[in-house]
Amino acid sequence: MTLIDNPRGNYRFLTGIAPYSSGVIANAGHEIVHVVLHEPLAYRAGFDLVADHLKSEGQPRTALCAIELRLPAPVSFAGFAEFNAEYQALLDDWDLLIGGINPVARTNVAPEVVRLPAPSLYAFSYTRPADIGRPTFVVAGAGDIVEQNLSTHAIVREGKTSADAMREKAIHVMSVMSARLAGLGVDWAGVTAVDIYTAQTLDTYIREVVLAPMKQSSVHGVHWHYVRPPIEGLEFEMDVRGVATERHLG
């Protein structure tokens, strides 16, 4: 992973894979604002909402630095690639790519109880001028898979959901979160929110595997989303952020 400056967006991003960066951190004199939609919107309409919101805030479209999507259901690896191609084309239309590299972090999961009719925008993050005295950042979602090898064989304990398997999956994802935090030049002490995405139980490993490594930031707890990761066969995903401003729209 490499940390690259995005001066048009007033943030730096940690390289990831084609559909998303691994994380973003605001430049000095700026902060990242996190915004949640009360009701998810079909994601193209959601991007229109983002454009209107940024305009009302006096910020350019390039200030958009992270996206959180919700899918109707997990998809195959081929379906994931197809969706990513469409999504990347939209980012290209917005002129967000940096030398062909996608700087925007992303989380993409499928609610298990509420079945959405289409891929939808759930939340987004953007930069704005501010001096809050500490770095603000968003780490992209990561699931129980070796990301540079998106195939069934790269899934951690593929096909297993026992307590032992889920512990191993969580350990893998926590190691990714820690590596991305380090890549951004921050650590768990600066984290203000932790999201866990799984439809499997947490109680057999959350204290030891998740909360203990968080140390003091575990005072904020975790937010458990009863959802599934975006690709069929995955069972556990996380993202984290450290922000000073959280907003809800709608």
Each residue of 186-227: pLDDT tens digit? 999 999 999 999 999 999 999 999 999 999 999 999 999 999
DSSP state string for 169-228: HHHHHHHHHHHHHHHHT--GGG--EEEEE-SS--TTTIIIIIIHHHGGGGGG--EEE-EE
- The confidence score (pLDDT) of residue 152 equals 84
pLDDT band of residue 118 (cuts 50, 70, 90) is very high
Q: What tens digit of pLDDT does each residue of 69-116 get? A: 999 999 999 999 999 999 999 999 999 999 999 999 999 999 999 999
In the DSSP assignment, the letter for residue 65 is E
pTM beyond 0.95: yes
CB 240: neighbour CB atoms within 10 A? 28
Using DSSP's 3-state secondary structure scheme, residue 244 falls into coil
**Mean pLDDT in residue range 132-141:** 97
- Is the pLDDT at 150 greater than 80? The verdict is no
Q: What residues does each domain of the chain span?
A: 3-249
Closest CA to 173 of 208, 203, 145: 145
Q: Give me the helix-helix angle, 43-56 and 77-93, nearest 10°.
A: 30
Q: What is the CATH number of domain 3-249?
A: 3.30.1330.40
Q: Tell me if 154 sits within 8 A of 146, measured CB to CB.
A: yes
Q: For residue 60, which amino acid is it?
A: P
Above pLDDT 90, what percent of the chain? 94
Whether residue 62 is predicted with pLDDT greater than 90 in this model: the reply is yes
pLDDT over 70 at 8, yes or no: yes
pLDDT of residue 148: 65
